[in-house]
Amino acid sequence: MMYLSLFIILLNIICSFAIYASPINIGIVFSGEELGNLDPCGCYDGQIGGLPRRYTFIDSLRKQKNIILPVSLGDLPGSFGRQEEIKAEILCRALGEMGYVLHNLGEKDIELGLQSISYLSQTSKVVFLSSNIKTSPAFPANIHQYVLKDFNDEGYPFKIAFLGILSQVLIDTNTSDCVHVTEPVETLKPLVKELQYKADLIILLSHATLDESIKIAKSFPEIGLIITGHNVGEPKDTVIYVKNTPIVCSGTGGKFIGYIKYSINKNKVTEIMPPEILPLDNKYKDSEEMVSLLKEYQQMLSDEDLLGRTQQMQHPEGMLYVGSQTCGMCHKMVYDHWRKTKHASAYNTLVKAGHQYDPECIKCHTVGYGLVSGFLNFEKDRNLINVGCESCHGAGSGHVKNVSNIYNESGENNCTECHDNDHSPKFQYKEYWSKIAHPKEIIKNLSEVAR
């Protein structure tokens, strides 16, 4: 019996050492420069990115029993205005649901307005970070100078510190009265000195150009990882090392996601795999959580009637839109041909996707949106839905009033207003035009047209 007791005690000691000797894996997931992109628009096959796929990717990592810390580099919105404010709110909620540790402020966040930053920073589950930004007391914002995460898993206590900077060259001078951005290197000096004794790993989110981040890496070898990038659309080849410090970038628009994995063993942090920059393609299924959130976003656009609230500008030539049916009264052959093209059902594609109240989508799927007499809402402007005659040839009131007025000819420049790199990267004018080319009309004289 005594031998059995001694055996059990010895076994427990051996197991304790085995457990204590097992390293802990921790993964840093990084993204940034969302620029208001919540999900691919669906204009063509093969689009990458989107919150639903990102959620799936992060969730798959957590299922591997690793500690996963997602962080955001900055720039939730792409511009300013009410729709961008709604997007920023949705993105904050999405980051919170995905368990993001923090969001480092970028210049687009600041340009959205300090009132919005103040609101989001105090209501979001995600911590707002910036080591070198100070805002006006008139807009109190909950912005942390650094974030220190403390872990004690499997008997291993360890700490990771996050710092974040915004480059001074990126900040708009018009916001200088409300926002003060200090010089990054001088700001980081005392913070790095303080944190190198508090943390086992220091990570910097550098919202700056790659060149500026390289200079920071040379100044602070204590920093173990720098997440950077500004306007780097294709980030695959931007993983570089400054001595032992990796500098990584996840690109723009939420199309890619970055991942780097560390091993923690007796407070020693070791990079166990090189940084990966992965495209969020269709091998990642859309998560139900994010799909539901995006439906809520579209409902918010509808509830606030952003389409109806659009400020309509005067047509530069004073023309008015008349609708494709009006054109078809005289140009019946062309009109009948147009009705068989995909342009004639462009609005229905938005309805099927549930995006018919989205101003960003509606402008390329209707006629004249944003101009006086152009499309504003379906109830009043059904004659202006789809990509119609006036989408390519311009407002037709002048031609209808006097058919002797030569109507605008369409060309490649008209097409690329909507068939741009983001929505139609494979666009080739001759190839695409062949799919919608009008049949030739034979008009004997203008008086015949007038009748």
Q: pLDDT digit string (tens) for 360-381?
A: 999 999 999 999 999 999 989 9
Sign (positive or negative) of CA dihedral 127, 128, 131, 134: negative
CA distance 194 to 355: 49
How far is residue 200 from each of residues 7, 103, 275, measured CA to CA in Å? 37, 21, 19
The CATH number given to 23-299 is 3.60.21.10
CA distance 73 to 264: 24
User: What pLDDT, on a 0 to 100 scale, did the predictor assign at position 446?
Assistant: 47
pLDDT-derived band at 29 (thresholds 50, 70, 90) equals: very high
From 28, 18, 14, select the one nearest 269 (Cα to Cα). Answer: 28
Quick count: other Cβ atoms within 10 Å of Cβ 86?
17
pLDDT value at 268 more than 90: no
pLDDT value at 90 more than 60: yes
Where is 109: in which H helix or E strand? helix 107-111
User: What pLDDT, on a 0 to 100 scale, did the predictor assign at position 16?
Assistant: 46
How far is residue 68 from each of residues 130, 151, 228, 254, measured CA to CA in Å? 21, 12, 19, 18
Quick count: other Cβ atoms within 10 Å of Cβ 230?
24
Do 74 and 104 contact (CB within 8 A), yes or no?
Answer: yes
For residue 77, give both structure tokens.
């919105």
Where is 50: in which H helix or E strand? none
Mean of all residue pLDDT scores within the chain: 88
**What is the four-CA torsion angle of 435, 440, 441, 445, rounded to 10 degrees?**
140
Rounded mean pLDDT of 4-22?
49
Distance between terminal CA atoms of the chain?
Answer: 114
For residue 320, give both structure tokens.
């008015």
285 vs 267, residue with greater confidence: 285
For residue 274, give both structure tokens.
């090189």
pLDDT value at 450 more than 50: no
How far is residue 419 from each of residues 118, 177, 433, measured CA to CA in Å? 37, 40, 12
Annotated domain spans of the chain: 23-299, 310-450
Return the minimum-mean-pLDDT range out of 3-7, 79-83, 330-334.
3-7
pLDDT-derived band at 202 (thresholds 50, 70, 90) equals: very high
168 vs 234, residue with greater confidence: 168
Rounded mean pLDDT of 57-82?
93
From 407, 94, 73, 111, select the one nearest 256 (Cα to Cα). Answer: 73
The CATH number given to 310-450 is 1.10.1130.10
Rounded mean pLDDT of 331-335?
92
Do 360 and 291 contact (CB within 8 A), yes or no?
Answer: no
- Long-range own/partner contacts, residues 141-149 (CB < 8 A, 24 or more apart): 141/114, 141/117, 143/105, 144/102, 145/191, 146/191, 146/195, 147/101, 147/102, 148/195, 148/198, 148/199, 149/69, 149/101
In three-state secondary structure terms, 30 is strand
CA distance 279 to 236: 9
pLDDT-derived band at 174 (thresholds 50, 70, 90) equals: low
From 309, 328, 345, 417, select the one nearest 86 (Cα to Cα). Answer: 309
pTM as predicted: 0.88
- pLDDT per residue over 105-152, tens digit each? 999 999 999 999 999 999 999 999 999 999 888 888 999 999 999 887
pLDDT value at 212 more than 70: yes
User: What pLDDT, on a 0 to 100 scale, did the predictor assign at position 171?
Assistant: 86
Amino acid identity of residue 417, one-letter, is: E
Rounded mean pLDDT of 252-268?
87
DSSP 293-354: HHHHHHHHHHHTTTTTTPPPBPPTT------HHHHHTT-HHHHHHHTTSGGGGHHHHHHHHT
pLDDT value at 20 more than 50: no
Rounded mean pLDDT of 29-46?
91
Radius of gyration of the chain (CA): 28
Q: Calculate what percentage of the chain has a pLDDT beyond 70.
A: 89
For residue 29, give both structure tokens.
């997931």
Residue with tokens 């109507």: 407
Q: Calculate what percentage of the chain has a pLDDT beyond 90.
A: 62
User: What pLDDT, on a 0 to 100 scale, did the predictor assign at position 433?
Assistant: 87
For 363, counting Cβ atoms within 10 Å of its Cβ (0-12 exposed, 13-18 middle, 19+ buried), the class is middle
449 vs 393, residue with greater confidence: 393
For 267, counting Cβ atoms within 10 Å of its Cβ (0-12 exposed, 13-18 middle, 19+ buried), the class is exposed
- pLDDT per residue over 303-324, tens digit each? 999 998 988 999 888 899 999 9
Paired residues of 152 in beta bridges: 157
DSSP 8-state symbol, 404: T
Q: Report the alpha-carbon angle 95-97-101, nearest 5.
A: 50
Q: Say which residues have a Cβ less than 8 Å from residue 90's Cβ, sequence separation at least 6.
A: 38, 293, 294, 296, 297, 300
Rounded mean pLDDT of 345-372?
94
